Each structure stands twice: as C-alpha cells, then as structure tokens.
Homo-oligomer: A and B are copies of this chain.
Amino acid sequence: MKVKDIGEFGLIDKISKKSINKDVIVDIGDDAAVYKTEKGLQVITTDSLIEGDHFSKEYFTPCQIGKKAIEINVSDIAAMGAVPKHVLVSLAIPNDLDVKFVEELYEGMWGVCDKYNLDIIGGNMTHCNIIVISISLIGEVKKNNLCLRCGAKPGDLIFVSGYLGNGRAGLRLFQENVDGFNNIRKKYLEPKSQFDFSKKIAPYVNSMIDVSDGLASEINHICDESECGAIIYKDKIPINEDVRILAKKLKEDEYTYALFGGEDFQLVYTVSKERLSNIDGFLIGEITKNKKILLSNKGKYEEIINKGYDHFSNYK
C-alpha cells in the first residue's frame, strides 16, 4: 500500500501515539502542540515549504518565499489563539544556489519576524537537490484564549474571518498563464496570517482552525475532533468578485476553489449564540449533532464527501 492510497490523514492515524508526559496538553492533530510550563502554556508548530510543491521559483521571489514560510506558521499559531515568539529555520538548499537567493529569502523571513516581533533563534543548514524550508514556531497562549479544533458544540455558529478561494485562484492564474487579476496574484504570492483578527476573537470562540487545505477539510477537522457535524450555507461563503470572474473565465467553479483549494490562511471558528456580540467575520453555517457535513444550497442539502486538499492523494 502506497502513501497516496491512504492519504495524509490515514497516515497520521497510523503513526500517532498518546503522549506520556503529563505537561503535554495538545499533541498531534491540531494546528500546533501545547504543553505546560510554570509560566503558562507554550504552543509549537512546524511546517515545511517544498520547492515544486509549495512554491515555484518561477512565480515567487526569494523574499516572497521567506515571507510565506513565516506567515503560514504564524497562521497556525494564530489558529490556537496564541502569540508567536521564537522561530527556528531548518534550510536545505542545492550547493549551486545563488548566495543572493539565500540572503533575500532571509530578508523576507526577518521582515515578517519584525512585523510580529519574533526572533529567528536557531536552525540549521544542509544540502539538498531542491529547496526545503522547515520552520518551527514557538508561541505562548493564555488558558482562556486557547482555541482547539475539539471545542465545537451543536448549535454553535460557524464563521470565517475573510474571503476564501484566493489561494487556489492564484495558483490557477499562474498555471494557466492568465494576465491581469493583480489582486489575486498579490494575495497568492504574499499570503498573510490573520493574527490580529485572532487576538480579538480568541477569548470568545469554542473552536478554531486556519484554512490551509480548503474550507471543507477544515470543517471536517473541527467536526471530527468535536464529534459533531455541520451545515454550511453555500451562498454565505465569502468569495471575492475577481475570484468569481477568474473561475468563470477558466470555466471552473469558485466554490470548488473555496471548499477544496486551500492556502487561504483565513480562520474558521465556531461560537455559541450567546457570544455573537463579541464576534466579527462572515457567518457561513452551523454545528449540528448529526455528524454529517452538509452543504445547503437553495433548500437542497448535499453531503460534502471530499475532505479537501490531501498532500498525497492530490498527487496520484
């Protein structure tokens, strides 16, 4: 049996094990891990950018690659309701890569670090035939702000922090060599975490996750971990006008971009009805006791089966 046959989530099931140390609060299966120190809760996440899979030197400048590497990890920390603090960079590069490329890559990383008041405190460098950037990001979180995937409750309303579908739209733009659409292009090349947004809502939400693999996949994670289901109102999913125009031009479906595309780095979160006054964002659905995940469209319900972007299955 090959990796692509069971996919990312099948694989994670096979290799996970319960933590033995009592100070581990959250282990494999959320946006970041959480462990206790006397100072409070520390969170840590790790994510890799692989040349050819997550970026192409044709589309991205070295500086943009560096920015993206940090932003996507900050996005994971923000999705926990936490504050990022320290960065480690494990970099593997070909030996005939230009030194200028590496300098600009780090300029991009340091630039985003300055924005969030982070330090790159360590890392390592080694040789590889392609560029692999692995980032580990440590943060801190107050107990009351900690947002897990497992906290959703039937009756919770589901929100998203901003427009979806841009991640996939941007990729399609480059793949199909389409001119124009500069807004989509810029957001694709320079994605931003929703850290500031997260700070405002974290004390009030029951569960949260960031959109890295598509809305369907993220809702599925929340429902899986919270042992519940969801109804998503298709016409409430916020999609920018230019993404709709591009989809139409390419004879594709903008809702497929939003549901199954990924790399939007918006936040998806669920909130009890009593706490709605504290919450910003787009209301897109409701958590249900029934464990199915349904897409509601003009009075009709359709089950969302495809669980979004799978890093292995999508390479079949």
Report which A residues bind B (CB closer than 8 A): 1-6, 8, 10-12, 14-15, 17, 19-21, 23-24, 26-28, 30, 32-33, 35, 37-39, 42, 44-48, 50, 52-54, 85-86, 88-90, 92-100, 102-103, 106, 110, 114, 117-130, 132, 134, 136, 138, 311-313, 315-316
Contacts and interface: CB of A to CB of B under 8 A. Distances in A.
A121 B44 contact: yes
Contact of A17 (B38, B120, B125): B120
Contact of A44 (B92, B98, B122, B312): B122
Given A39-B37, A121-B27, A126 B53 contact: yes
A128 B35 CA distance: 30
B96 A44 contact: no
Given A15-B103, A127-B315, A315-B95, A86 B122 contact: no
Contacts of A24: 86, 119, 121
Given A33-B88, A44-B86, A46-B90, A11 B99 contact: yes
A32 B122 contact: yes
A93 B311 CA distance: 10
Given A88-B33, A102-B14, A311 B122 contact: no
A1 B99 CA distance: 6
A169 to B, nearest CB: 21
